[in-house]
């Protein structure tokens, strides 16, 4: 009841703030100033309540980084800190509960599958934890166990959040929030399905078997709440970020970008949770990849319009860029965008594709974030929509850029876009005919 009660307070408070805003307008305040005040207080309460919850509400906050991009640091900062605290403080399952889940999923004789099983988890996440074990044939394995009740809690949170579309609309009037929430709910439901995760991980493992750049541990066994995969040693990317040499950090950044861009072309799927905990640098220089619960299925590879619009932007044709963004659903019909403001907003993010070599840095990222903290209705960030087909792509790019900036990586990232992103290397003279312009 407590989780639902916290969520239920949001629309009531929003109605109160809106009524207060009407009173202030009657008292002489400008509509824009009142709107900003309402948005500021709405944002504060949204992020305060979401920050106190786990499950679906927490995943919404993680996935929709566009919300954070549109908010001042004094609001988004404490929210991010709350999420980190929640994740770090997640208590492991009691040993008796671990054994009960294994017995329910693998049978009372579950121990016969293992030579040994470490009751202490080696890692924990929002919906499960990982144990190290030795499979009955002697292989080192990772055993991922889903928390009992995790699925019901996650989907319950999303059922509540789906009712808050009007409230989020006050923050981001250009965003079709109900469609985005529906898409996120489907993706979270997929993350709860360990059979589906096993299928995705096996596909990646098969494609990258023997690859000189990447290693994906293969799946050994799976059912609804237990996933057994090959164990993988290596240096966590988080340690490369803090202690790695410049050469190691550059190598890690280049491989991360290569993996994210080449996977849709090679596997038809995009790994959709690129945070440092899911990657390892191996002693032989390869990048190891873990956790395939969140994947974006892209059987035709990256959307061609993504590469085309990036290339056209680099050639300065903003009219075609805006038409293409409308056709893809990034700009809704009733929204007017100032071309110069859009160019200023997009330029830094497209910059790595416009130069032979690029260096990501925390300072660079902070400069880009500074352009998105304006809550006025004319702020481009708040006018853009996030089409459902791009929800996970956006999540990957936002998180991936964050990791690259943590690494401070320098590399020829443009070469990866040229090789793997459809439309980017096409003849620019053909662009107007190939884009789906309305």
- Higher-pLDDT residue of 365 and 158 is 365
What is the layout of strands, in order, in the sheet containing 279-281?
214-215, 287-289, 279-281, 235-236
pLDDT at 169 over 70: no
Tokens 């709860």 sit on residue:
192
Instruction: Answer whether 242's CB lies under 8 Å from 407's CB.
Output: no
Q: How far apart are CA 360 and CA 363, in angstroms?
A: 9
Output the CA angle 342-346-350, nearest 5 degrees: 150
Tell me the C-alpha to C-alpha distance, in Å, between residue 298 and each of 97, 139, 206, 208, 393. Answer: 37, 33, 17, 17, 10
pLDDT at 44 over 60: no
Neighbours of 334 (CB within 10 A): 7
- Higher-pLDDT residue of 115 and 163 is 115
- Higher-pLDDT residue of 133 and 10 is 133
The region of weakest confidence among 18-27, 94-103, 270-279 is 18-27
Instruction: Give the single-character DSSP code of 93.
Output: P
pLDDT at 81 over 60: no
- Average pLDDT of the segment spanning 71-77: 52
Write down the H helix ranges in 162-300: 165-171, 177-191, 194-207, 237-243, 246-266
pLDDT tens digits for range 355-378: 999 999 878 777 766 555 455 556
165: which 2 tokens? 């579309």
Tell me the C-alpha to C-alpha distance, in Å, between residue 240 and each of 258, 291, 322. Answer: 18, 19, 39
Neighbours of 249 (CB within 10 A): 23
Q: How far apart are CA 10 and CA 195, in angstroms?
A: 36
pLDDT at 61 over 60: no
pLDDT of residue 241: 92
pLDDT tens digits for range 306-318: 999 999 999 999 9
Instruction: Answer whether 396's CB lies under 8 Å from 271's CB.
Output: yes
- Average pLDDT of the segment spanning 34-60: 52
Instruction: Answer whether 371's CB lies under 8 Å from 345's CB.
Output: yes
What are the extents of the domains in the chain? 2-89+152-174
Q: How far apart are CA 252 and CA 274, in angstroms?
A: 13
pLDDT tens digits for range 221-255: 998 889 999 999 999 998 999 999 999 999 999 99
Indicate the pLDDT class of residue 60, thresholds 50, 70 and 90.
low
Tell me the C-alpha to C-alpha distance, in Å, between residue 326 and each of 308, 323, 395. Answer: 14, 5, 20
Give CA 286 to chain center in angstroms.
23
% the chain with pLDDT above 70: 68
pLDDT at 340 over 80: yes
Query: Average pLDDT over the chain, rounded to whole?
Result: 78
- Higher-pLDDT residue of 162 and 66 is 162
pLDDT of residue 266: 97
Q: How far apart are CA 331 and CA 383, in angstroms?
A: 7
pLDDT of residue 20: 37
pLDDT at 260 over 70: yes
pLDDT of residue 273: 87
pLDDT tens digits for range 177-195: 777 777 777 777 788 889 9
273: which 2 tokens? 């949770």
The region of weakest confidence among 16-25, 314-323, 332-341, 344-353 is 16-25
Which residues, at least 6 apart from 311, have a Cβ–Cβ distance to it below 8 Å? Answer: 353, 423, 424, 425, 426, 428, 431
pLDDT at 388 over 80: yes
Element (DSSP H or E) covering residue 265: helix 246-266
Tell me the C-alpha to C-alpha distance, in Å, between residue 236 and each of 124, 187, 232, 401. Answer: 15, 26, 11, 18
pLDDT at 295 over 90: yes
Which residues, at least 6 apart from 15, have a Cβ–Cβ distance to it below 8 Å? Answer: none
């Amino acid at each position: 009841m407590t989780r639902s009660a916290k969520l239920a307070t949001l629309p009531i408070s929003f109605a109160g703030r809106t009524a207060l805003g009407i009173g202030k307008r009657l008292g002489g305040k400008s509509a824009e100033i009142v709107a900003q005040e309402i948005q500021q207080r709405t944002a504060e309460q949204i992020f305060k309540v979401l920050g106190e919850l786990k499950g679906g509400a927490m995943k919404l906050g993680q996935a929709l980084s566009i919300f954070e991009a549109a908010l001042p640091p004094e609001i988004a900062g404490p929210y991010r800190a709350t999420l980190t605290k929640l994740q770090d403080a997640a208590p492991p399952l009691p040993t008796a509960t671990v054994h009960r889940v294994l017995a329910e999923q693998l049978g009372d004789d579950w121990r016969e599958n293992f030579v040994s099983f470490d009751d202490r988890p080696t890692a924990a996440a929002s919906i499960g934890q990982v144990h190290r074990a030795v499979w009955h044939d002697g292989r080192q394995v990772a055993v991922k166990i889903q928390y009992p009740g995790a699925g019901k809690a996650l989907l319950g949170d999303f059922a509540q959040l789906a009712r808050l579309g009007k409230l989020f609309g006050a923050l981001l009037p250009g965003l079709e929030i109900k469609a985005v929430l529906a898409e996120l709910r489907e993706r979270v439901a997929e993350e709860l399905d360990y059979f589906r995760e096993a299928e995705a991980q096996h596909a990646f493992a098969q494609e990258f078997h023997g690859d000189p750049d990447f290693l994906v541990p293969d799946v050994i066994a799976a059912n609804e709440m237990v996933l057994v995969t090959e164990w993988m040693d290596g240096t966590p990317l988080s340690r490369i970020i803090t202690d790695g040499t410049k050469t190691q950090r550059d190598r890690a950044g280049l491989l991360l970008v290569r993996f994210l861009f080449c996977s849709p072309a090679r596997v038809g799927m995009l790994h959709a949770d690129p945070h440092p905990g899911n990657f390892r640098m191996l002693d032989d220089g390869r990048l190891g990849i873990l956790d395939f619960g969140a994947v974006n299925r892209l059987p035709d590879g990256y959307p061609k319009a993504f590469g085309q619009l990036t290339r056209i932007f680099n050639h300065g044709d903003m009219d075609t860029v805006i038409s293409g963004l409308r056709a893809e659903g990034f700009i809704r019909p009733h929204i007017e965008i100032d071309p110069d403001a859009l160019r200023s907003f997009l330029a830094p993010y497209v910059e790595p594709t416009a130069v032979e070599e690029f260096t990501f840095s925390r300072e660079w990222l902070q400069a880009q974030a500074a352009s998105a903290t304006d809550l006025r209705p004319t702020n481009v960030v708040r006018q853009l929509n996030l089409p459902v087909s791009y929800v996970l792509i956006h999540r990957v790019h936002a998180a991936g850029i964050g990791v690259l900036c943590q690494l401070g990586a320098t590399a020829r990232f443009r070469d990866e876009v040229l090789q793997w992103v459809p439309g980017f290397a096409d003849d620019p003279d053909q662009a107007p005919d190939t884009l789906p312009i309305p």
